[in-house]
Amino acid sequence: MTMISPRRPLFEKPDADMVRVLAGTSEVARLQAACRMWIAARAIVRASVAADHADWPADQIDREVANRMSHGIIRRVCS
């Protein structure tokens, strides 16, 4: 029987240009960019959930979005 080795986590390494850009950016600017990316990701997830479940009310869609964005933590803690 052949054993399958577990996958190692993949860590991406930023390229040198990105490191230079981030090094020249203030902490506030990096946090603002991260916040904008999170808001954009949430909007994409919400649109996907709403499209997949057109019959769901807005509060149910929001709960599912929170569950997906939290990787299930919301459902486990708030149930």
Q: What is the pLDDT of residues 3-56, one digit of tens each?
A: 666 777 777 888 899 899 889 999 999 999 999 999 999 999 999 999 999 999
**53 contacts 61 by C-beta, under 8 angstroms:** yes
Whether 36 maps to a domain, the answer reads yes
Whether 18 maps to a domain, the answer reads no
pLDDT number for residue 76: 65
pLDDT number for residue 33: 93
Whether 60 maps to a domain, the answer reads yes
Whether 53 maps to a domain, the answer reads yes
pLDDT number for residue 58: 97
Note the residue count of the chain.
79
Domain count of the chain? 1
Whether 11 maps to a domain, the answer reads no
Whether 5 maps to a domain, the answer reads no
Residue type, 63: R
Whether 63 maps to a domain, the answer reads yes
Note down the domain range covering 66: 26-78
Whether 13 maps to a domain, the answer reads no
